[in-house]
Amino acid sequence: DKAFCAGGDIVALYRSMTEPQGASEGEAFFNEEYELDYLIHTFQKPIVCWGHGIVMGGGMGIMEGASHRVVTEGSKLAMPE
C-alpha cells in the first residue's frame, strides 16, 4: 500500500527524548511540523490535499489543515499518537 505519512523518524525522536543531549532534536522537529501545520491552516489560498491510501500522523496534520480534503474508497486515516 502507498502511504502519505510525512511522519518523523520515531526511533530518532525517542532517542532525543531519552538521551540528555538529544532534547533539541525532538523539539526542533515538532516546532517545524507544527509551524507547517499552522501555515497550511492559515494560508490565504485554497489548498487541496488528496489522501489516497494510508494517511497517518504527520500526513493527517497536513490533511486536516487543508481547506479541501479528498479521500477515496482506498483511504485509511489514522492518528496513532
Q: Are 8 and 62 in contact (CB under 8 A)?
A: no
Beta bridge partners of 77: 55
Quickly count: other Cβ atoms within 10 Å of residue 10's Cβ. Answer: 10
Does pTM top 0.85 for this prediction?
A: no
Closest CA to 7 of 38, 25, 33: 33
Alpha helices in the chain (DSSP H): 10-18, 23-42, 58-65
Q: What pLDDT sits at residue 56?
A: 86
Q: What pLDDT sits at residue 3?
A: 64
| Per-residue pLDDT reduced to its tens digit, 40-58 | 999 999 999 999 888 888 8
